[in-house]
């Protein structure tokens, strides 16, 4: 192969003869150049696709984080609700345990049991050989432990009270647990037990207790010793006190102006427990006195006319 070069100044021509080797080298050079150009273009295209894929991955990752964030907030809210529910449950169990302890102490004194036989101020004694299997056991959270312990304590107290009730069932009522007399130091009976004209509607209605009228803030007294099981507002009753005397007997004192004892307190016979008022469904200062046996109201007159032992 010949290559001719022509000079512009002198118009002379020169001829360059190229052999096969030179032709191969030039062809190889251009081939390599084309491959390089193609490679750069291909690499640029690949990089562009990688960028697009990276952007899509980042978007997916961000969305996934948002979804997980929502799930975390939802779990947090559910956990807070469960914690609140458990806190209320613990408070209820604790209040129930206090009432059981107070009732147990009262029944122990009433039954005149030997000192120390039923000590409700101490943790019940437990023991026995270990029966746990070998290995590491699951340890629940402290909060769950507290609930389980309270439930366990209440169960033990209930078992002890059941024994006490059986013992008391074979004994006569002591004078301080014997319901007798009027629930007021001063006052007069303004309404009896049974059918009467309702003071608000005028219609015939059933009256589940008797009313003693008197001056506002006159003393209301306990007709027998017992444990306070209700102290607060109650629909229709206004400010109400409820006292459990054992033997499935409960007395109620309603429409008070002020309550002087709280739930769990042990009251003595003749103790001032409230001041007369007109709270709730009432037309004037008085106390609604009610006696319930096995959950059913009975005529208080039969107990008011009793003579104290």
The DSSP annotation for 214-227 comes to --TT-EEE-SS-EE
Task: Output the furthest CA–CA distance in the chain (Å, rounded).
Answer: 158
Tens-digit pLDDT profile for residues 229-283: 999 999 889 999 999 988 789 999 999 999 999 998 989 899 999 999 999 888 8
CB 205 within 8 A of CB 144: no
CB 245 within 8 A of CB 295: no
Q: What residues pair up with 226 in beta bridges, in sequence order?
A: 267
- pTM comes to 0.47
Spatial distance between the Cα atoms of 200 and 165, rounded to a whole number of angstroms: 42
Closest CA to 253 of 227, 281, 226, 230: 230
Tens-digit pLDDT profile for residues 72-123: 778 778 877 877 777 777 777 777 777 777 777 766 666 665 555 556 556 6
DSSP 183: S
**pLDDT band at residue 14 under the 50/70/90 scheme:** low
């Amino acid at each position: 192969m010949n290559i001719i070069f022509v000079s512009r100044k002198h118009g002379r021509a020169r001829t360059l003869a190229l052999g096969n080797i030179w032709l191969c080298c030039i062809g190889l050079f251009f081939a390599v150049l084309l491959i390089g150009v193609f490679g750069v273009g291909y690499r640029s295209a690949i990089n562009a696709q990688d960028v697009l894929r990276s952007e899509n991955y980042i978007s997916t990752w961000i969305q996934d984080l948002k979804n997980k964030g929502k799930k975390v907030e939802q779990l947090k809210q559910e956990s807070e609700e469960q914690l609140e529910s458990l806190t209320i449950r613990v408070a209820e169990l604790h209040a129930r345990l206090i009432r059981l302890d107070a009732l147990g102490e009262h029944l122990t004194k009433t039954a005149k049991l030997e000192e120390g036989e039923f000590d409700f101020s101490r943790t019940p004694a437990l023991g026995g050989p270990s029966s746990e299997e070998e290995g590491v056991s699951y340890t629940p959270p402290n909060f769950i432990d507290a609930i389980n312990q309270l439930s366990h304590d209440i169960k033990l107290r209930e078992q002890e009270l059941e024994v006490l009730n059986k013992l008391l069932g074979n004994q006569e009522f002591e004078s301080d647990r014997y319901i007798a007399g009027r629930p007021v130091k001063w006052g007069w009976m303004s309404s009896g037990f049974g059918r009467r004209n309702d003071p608000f509607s005028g219609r015939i209605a059933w009256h589940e207790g008797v009313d003693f009228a008197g001056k506002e803030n006159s003393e209301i007294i306990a007709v027998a010793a017992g444990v306070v099981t209700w102290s607060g507002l109650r629909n229709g009753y206004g400010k109400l006190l409820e006292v459990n005397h054992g033997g499935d007997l409960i007395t109620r004192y309603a429409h008070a102006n002020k309550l002087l004892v709280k739930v769990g307190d042990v009251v003595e016979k003749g103790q001032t427990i409230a001041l007369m008022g007109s709270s709730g469904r009432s037309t004037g200062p008085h106390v609604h006195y009610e006696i319930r046996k096995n959950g059913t109201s009975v005529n208080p007159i039969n107990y008011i006319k009793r003579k104290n032992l």
